[in-house]
Structure 1
């Protein structure tokens, strides 16, 4: 880990204690009025940092800590403002840089990434897209982008009140069993949103499938594919419940046209599909304290049994917004998740152990996760999230007998 990486969290905490920064929505402020003027002219700059430190306190493989970080810089160009066009659309440019080490790989040996910002440890182009309304009800976005920005996750952002990637983002068996890719991996594609009614929306997309570019630093700045295997086609129906107890409901299906090897066989299977259901529903509002509410969420996803090592994901939990009267932007989150390995993958592991003359451990049929976090909004631009994760059957996917692990961590998020 570089000296810059080690100093970043300490520097952010020092800046957070400085009153001059506390009143700003971003760490760098308004740049003497320049930032606001540029936004009025059609150019908006964004940036954020996330750092995640995780210490394995019990079970797993080793007692130690690991740190990972992500730096994101972006610029949005409003073509209507810049060139005086009527409905000119917007261009989005985003760059990511990731560094660090994995607590899951090094310390616990589990499948669900303990740090959601770990993976693809290099600087890359994450998005170069164009978006425009084709009609009042129809929106088009196309270019080089990550699928999960628009599909497969909850728009409310409730799931990123957690540090584990099993919650924060889309269900991981989507990417485990198809050409659906995890952020910040991006591919060429197009997405349409159509408002069926004020509360109903249909989303459909098509993305190039290019496994050789995923996590490949030599492809960090290449928009074109290295080796296309097919196209992944997601279809999603969204319902937004209005009123005192709002909710968000998503049901989706996706199909990947790629031919891939069937698990446990030398034969190929033509095409892989899956489906999912996502829910975020407010269940309680405090009548005496506006903004204080309790939301419940649920996740279910199933993917191809022929070619996915990770066939099902179940997730559920609650998030309390504004837990204390004096902390309007704090949150408390509790979640439970269950990741189910493909029985065919288990058969392959058992056969390998038998052929090697080694015993195969008597482990459960799924990796399970319990996570508790507290989001402390230290300043308008800095969020600190102490986090505890308890991981049951960490070796469910690797076929190894690994003790249940207790991991404590801290996530730091800052907006530039």
Structure 2
């Protein structure tokens, strides 16, 4: 089945991975004091070099994710698809490097994606079954500078980066206990209906965080909108804008509380001043925006087992009715941390999501079908997703996440009558 997976190859990609493999793996093999089953990263401490560099102000990071999905029933075809993401980064702590207080940090990140899409090839649905699929090439994903300004409460970051790294998602990371991109990351109608960009798509911008109190924080940003650069491999190493259409400005209020049952709450609004075509019309609409609410709340904590707790999450997002093909997203679910006494770092996750297509898009599809003399299917007008998964922490650096996804009405966005799909998946994550 996996023979159906096809990879594009290039000299740049092969050379880059070969070089990085040599750099990261060989020192690890020389580190006799590090047990590969207990160390925090796959490549270890590089014989002490990694720790020393970190102490000096140079921190290397890396992670790999591989996602295999098999369509067992419904959808378009019975088969499997595999996709992968490799991220390598280095952070320079300028205060440590130069002995200057509050000199800030520089972050450099390179990303590479390969593989094939189960959603496109096997199911025909809109919400990506593999969250790491998309933009299948090597690219620069961040070159930024960050520091506190005037007061420790004010933090500023600017440069080339993805908006979604700092806004629009839950900081707790609860949503990445799932493999479907409908949960893991950000409500997809943000990026589907505006200039909002999520990793690995990056643009020039600035982000400001201000701590109003220990529990409250305000986040504001401004990013260049250049839609033609998203997914364009010829722009993989170009920081500057080429086809700017405008600026997108998000503002986000964050509330976090600690205690016996901690929680995180976010409410946000964003506006993109680009002129875009109105759906179902030849006219342009000036500006498009949206709003969102995100919640992660602990609802139970074991009085006898340290670390065992149950969290509930919720997502709501609404986008521009005039220009977004995807008007609303609703998501909710539960994550149980430490489901078994002997598995302190495992998780059990169940989520439900509902993605609502814009009625304007549905009208355009129906008119096109009628014009061609074809019947338009009687759809419920929303793609729905149920995902159940178990996160098995095999080692401190390796997580295996078998999961089951049930896609209801996969053709809601394409206007096709496609049978509901049952997808079996496995996600592998490794810290390098």
Q: TM-score range by the shorter chain?
A: over 0.9
The 2-side partners of 1:365 and 1:359 are apart by 16
How far the C-alpha of 1:2 sits from its partner, in A, is 5.0
Q: 1:287 aligns with which of 290, 303, 310?
A: 303
The 2-side partners of 1:314 and 1:2 are apart by 34
After superposition, the Cα gap between the structure-2 partners of 1:357 and 1:150, relative to the gap in structure 1 and judged at 3 Å, is same
**2:42 is equivalent to residue 55 of structure 1:** no
2:72–2:424: 8 Å Cα contact kept in structure 1? yes
Deviations 1:185-211 (A, max 9, x none): 000000000001110000000000000
Residue 238 of structure 2 is matched in structure 1 by 222
The 2-side partners of 1:349 and 1:374 are apart by 38
Which runs of 5 or more residues in structure 1 are unaligned?
A: 6-14
The 2-side partners of 1:364 and 1:389 are apart by 19
The 2-side partners of 1:215 and 1:186 are apart by 10
Q: 1:152 aligns with which of 164, 168, 191?
A: 168
Q: Partner of 1:24: helix, strand, or coil?
A: coil
Residue 26 of structure 1 is matched in structure 2 by 41
Residue 35 of structure 1 is matched in structure 2 by 50
Residue 127 of structure 2 is matched in structure 1 by 112
Deviations 1:272-294 (A, max 9, x none): 01000000000000010010000
The 2-side partners of 1:313 and 1:263 are apart by 19
How far the C-alpha of 1:181 sits from its partner, in A, is 1.3
Residue 87 of structure 2 is matched in structure 1 by 72
How far the C-alpha of 1:182 sits from its partner, in A, is 2.4
Residue 104 of structure 2 is matched in structure 1 by 89
Q: 1:335 aligns with which of 343, 351, 356?
A: 351
The 1-side partners of 2:83 and 2:357 are apart by 26
Structural RMSD (CA): 1.3
Residue 192 of structure 2 is matched in structure 1 by 176
Residue 302 of structure 1 is matched in structure 2 by 318
TM-score, normalised relative to structure 2: 0.92
Q: How does 1:261-410 map to 2 (within 5 A)?
A: 261-410=277-426
TM-score, normalised relative to structure 1: 0.96
Q: 1:250 aligns with which of 256, 259, 266?
A: 266
Deviations 1:217-249 (A, max 9, x none): 000000001110000000000000111100000
The 2-side partners of 1:23 and 1:103 are apart by 34
The 2-side partners of 1:110 and 1:3 are apart by 24
The 2-side partners of 1:331 and 1:237 are apart by 28
How far the C-alpha of 1:3 sits from its partner, in A, is 11
